[in-house]
Copies of this chain bind each other. A is one copy, B any other.
Amino acid sequence: MLSPISPIYPISPISPLAPKSVPDMPQIGGVRLATAAAGIRYKGRTDVLLALLDKGTAVAGVLTRSKCPSAPVEWCRARLESGQARALVVNSGNANAFTGKTGRQAAKFTAELAAKAAGCRPGNVFLASTGVIGEPLDARAFDGVMDGLVAQASPSGWIDAAKAIMTTDTFPKLATATATLGDTVVSINGFAKGAGMIAPDMATMLSFVFTDAPITAPALQTMLSRHVIDTFNAVTIDGDTSTSDTLLLFATGSAAAQGAPVIERANDRRAAPFRAALNQVLANLAEQVARDGEGARKLVEVIVEGAVSKKSARRIAMSIANSPLVKTAFAGGDANWGRVVMAVGKAGEPADRDRLAIWFGGIKVARLGTRDPGYDEAAVSAIMKRPEITLKVDLGIGTGRDRVLTCDLTKEYVAINGDYRS
């Protein structure tokens, strides 16, 4: 039943912003992976991922703040309290969201299936689903593949795992980093899926990160909640927060056998390199999500400086990054700073029009609330043709600074989302 190949959901060519290569992913002690084609919705590709986790694995998670979360999100939220994980089941093709009682039953059934096959308790199985909303998920489809998944699970297969959870993604998203913990080198592997329905105040569509570092669940949760702020939560594609956003971080602790100290507090100084590596993996995956925004042709970094606070800078940066008029201007290669002013103005945060300065790709186009006298349209037009552009706004009224990532709004976004379900 296992699919030897994992063709990508082929509605769009690979994003021109995709990384040039996929990283070499090391094995993570205590983690085994397997994928299968259960036929949830797609033909000829994998759509189920099983991750098996050794006993003693701690888990932390960040889940969507949507008031209408999916059944798997509710399942995970309840299970995170224990902080213990033994398995993860993810499917693409159906989000099991807005499926009512049937959806809850499907989640429970899936966890029970996996628990039975993996030899653990259902409460230690974590779930995530992505795909269409509002259609019942027939979890019986997992019944035929679960035993095979457990039998097949291996410490490699990271790229296959990343492919199995894709929907409208055009490339698999993986990242890895190492850090020293005590005198031991520990590893962090992560993968994510994104594409659409990506917005702040969430954990991204789906992302799973694994480490062999021995870190207790409370410390892991504190680290994850802290580092999600400037990584996944600083990315927006379309301002639409999903019902299914799930970021889970699993720590198997297998590196303890090689002498790594057990970390019980998030602020433990010995974990500083680990925290930096974790931030790097999360930031890398989040950037890949922005690079694969539906229809994206340009990666746009929005930096806001001189705000009254970081929080205020974030709100203004998000107002800019979510503005359809700003995003279409990037699509059209138009350095339309007037629309940036508009987006600053509508954010509702303190701003003084007559102190505003704006740069596109390092070229100052406006200062003191009006066009820069040295403004060179040709130079800025050249900048706007690049695939990666930084837009900087200095409000000139404080020291608050923040940065978010987004992409342009193209006709392809409209095409992809006008036809997705049919």
Interface pick from A54-62, A185-193, A223-231, A333-341: A333-341
User: For residue A369, which residues in chain B have a CB less than 8 angstroms away from its CB?
Assistant: 98-100
Tell me, yes or no, whether A109 is within 8 Å of chain B by CB: no
Contact B325 A197 (CB under 8 A): yes
Least Cβ distance of A232 to chain B in Å? 16
Q: In the complex the two chains form, is A324's CB within 8 Å of B417's CB?
A: yes
Interface residue range, chain A: 35 or more
CA A376 – CA B341 in complex, angstroms? 46
Give Cα A132–Cα B418 distance, bound, in whole angstroms: 30
Report yes or no: B421 in contact with A336, Cβ–Cβ below 8 A: yes
Assess whether A66 is interfacial by the CB under 8 Å rule.
Answer: yes
With A67-B344, A136-B371, A344-B67: A328-B98 Cβ-Cβ less than 8 Å: no
A97 partner, pick from B101, B136, B341, B414, beta carbons under 8 A: B341
A306 at the interface (CB under 8 A from B): no
**Residue in chain B with minimal CB distance to A341:** B98
A356's partner among B68, B239, B323 (CB-CB below 8 A) is B68
Q: How far is the CA of A68 from the CA of B133 in the complex (A)?
A: 39
Q: Does A83 contact B (CB under 8 A)?
A: no
Q: Roughly how many angstroms separate A238 CA and B325 CA in the complex, as a whole number? A: 8
Residues of A within 8 A of B (CB): 64-69, 95, 97-103, 132-136, 196-197, 199, 201, 238-243, 322-325, 328-329, 331-334, 336-339, 341-351, 353-354, 356, 366, 368-371, 409-411, 413-415, 417-422
User: Which 8 A-B pairs have CB atoms at the shortest separation, nearest pair first?
Assistant: A133-B338, A332-B418, A68-B345, A100-B370, A66-B345, A328-B417, A241-B346, A134-B338
Other contacts beyond A329-B418, A332-B420: 9, CB < 8 A: A99-B369, A99-B370, A132-B338, A134-B336, A134-B371, A240-B325, A243-B341, A328-B414, A336-B421
